[in-house]
Amino acid sequence: MDQVAADQEADPAAEAARLRAAAAAGKPGAYRAYAELLTGRGRLDEALPWWARAADAGDADASRTLAICHKDRGEFAEAERWYRTAADRDGGCAFGLARLLQEAGDAAGAEKWYERGAALGSVECKTNGAVMLAARGAWDTALERLAEASAEGDETAARARRVIQDMLRDLARWREALARAEAEGDPEEAYEALRELLDPDRKAMFERYPRMVAEAEALYAGAAAVGSAKALVDQALFIARDPSRWDEARALVERAHGLGYDGAAYVLGVWAEENGELRTAEEWYRTADEADDGHIWARFNLGVLCVRQRRLDEAERWLRATGVDEESRDPFDEGEERIITALESIAAIRADPERMPPAEWAERLPGLRARAEEGGPDDWYAYADALMRLYRLPEAAEWYRKAGTPRALLALGRMLYEGGGAKGVRMVPYYEPAAAEGDAGAAYDIGRIHDEAGDRRTAQIWFRRAADLGHGRAAWWLGWTSEERGGDPQHAERWYVRAARSGLVPPAFLAGRSMVRRGACAEAEPLLRIACEGDHEEAPYWLAQALRGLGRTEEAQRWLRVAAETYPDLLRRYGDMARLAVPDPR
């Protein structure tokens, strides 16, 4: 290496200038080299145009990198566009495109591009494509392709092949056991033959291979045909995985209840509660308890329903009727701990007047009721709102539904999800009308529900909508996702700034710290002052660094003293993690 080259390598600025000049001159490989340098330094905004030039020059890896960057930013259409520029000739891009389409629910498109990628030599495409074939029941073809991928050294393919083979052996065993029970006409034996299907350890199998859901449904239908009412319920549990077949599933469980299976009433209660049908849930739980002469989990759920409605004496009676109390509990039994926790919750509510129905709303209720009986949607909403504040949730739900406006449906969805025990994804339709009218909070809540359900893509789409409508926490989430999951500090900083405009202290700090790190001290100062005014413990140190960068040494020293005073508290609270976040200001 000559001296000039050695000096450039030792000087990062000189190296960047050399690569930029080479890229500007269009030298072979320079676009990518300069883009890689910028990306490695966290300057992705500047890197993207150079990645694009490399992609336009035929660099498939650059196309894939661009697609990944845009996908991490939640720009899915742009990610798809860049994958498609090279997917016909590059297995990596074909793989990325197939995964993108699969995550978007386009199974046919995903299979097509896994097939194309496999033809281009991508073993990952061959493996994933085979798993998709197995997911819809094309077992023989899937096993053949997994064997090929395994022979090429893909351990993932080898594991998937073993799992599918084990699964098919189990399926054959269950079918044989059911056939014996059918031949003997024994309903109980037919049900017992399938007990393993409901093992919690098999949950992942049904999620990854949906065809097994259909197989399980068919097996339980066979057991039900022998006369097992319990099998009807388990058949319904598999059918209910498809939201479009919800009525069919419920009808099967109701039929099992009519045939005398006591456990069916409990399942109907759980489903009604998850759907926000509070009165129906309570009725079914009571039925389950009466039919079973004391159904412990029906009693527990009744107790929890009553706690949510502040029927505390009744709640305590139901919980104590389970036979579990503070003296006799088993601390290692998770179920018993849930019951004790619910009893402790009752005591905490009783001790806190703020958590009880407010007397002023009880006094206003008759007048609001009179106006609701004579008025329209606004009066119905007002009456529902008062009932909700008084924890009379079933009545509130009826009046919110009667009002039917986007605002009323949003309030209903929030009440049922946040305080009524309903499942979040099932409540999304209540949020959507308000979100469609531009309600940022509704859009944020939809994103949060999908995030909690593990659907990151849908969550990201909704958080983006909410942030574009001015929701600070949505912008904060997008910034955190860009930085922590995507390694994209520039994109994250922009979202943090937008979040800070809504008055949130933590993103103001995160934006300010990011600016200090890249030398934008003047931009950082006002944000870090907001964070300091909001008592953010790490902000004084970074404000001092910003001021120092601006040459205001005396001010910097004052803030370093503030940081030094609080640093021992940080160490006590976070231990060595504090040293990673903030060097010792002392």
Residue 567 identity? Y
Tell me the percentage of the chain whose pLDDT exceeds 70.
Answer: 98
* pTM for the model: 0.90
Which pLDDT does position 569 carry in this prediction?
A: 83
Which pLDDT does position 10 carry in this prediction?
A: 52
Q: What is the largest CA-CA distance in the chain?
A: 92
DSSP class of residue 183? H
Is the backbone of residue 149 left (phi > 0), alpha (psi -120 to 50) or beta?
Answer: alpha
Residue matched to tokens 């039925």:
287
Selection from 299, 340, 341, 301 nearest residue 318 by Cα: 299
Average pLDDT, the chain: 94
**What would the two tokens of residue 341 be?**
């926790």
What's the rounded Cα separation, in Å, for the pair 143 and 510? 49
Q: What is the three-class DSSP state of 538?
A: coil
DSSP 38-98: HHHTT-HHHHHHHHHHHHHTT-HHHHHHHHHHHHHTT-HHHHHHHHHHHTTT-HHHHHHHH
* Intervals of the chain under pLDDT 50: 1-8
- Please give the domain boundaries of the chain with CATH numbers for all domains: 184-355 (1.25.40.10), 358-437 (1.25.40)
What's the rounded Cα separation, in Å, for the pair 60 and 32? 11
What's the rounded Cα separation, in Å, for the pair 115 and 568? 58
pLDDT tens for each residue of 382-428: 999 999 999 999 999 999 999 999 999 999 999 999 999 999 899 99
Which pLDDT does position 571 carry in this prediction?
A: 81
Q: Establish how many alpha carbons lie within 13 A of residue 200's alpha carbon, considering only the half-sphere containing its beta carbon.
A: 0
The separation between CA 289 and the C-alpha centre of its own chain, rounded to angstroms, equals 34
Residue matched to tokens 């061959």:
126
What's the rounded Cα separation, in Å, for the pair 64 and 87? 9
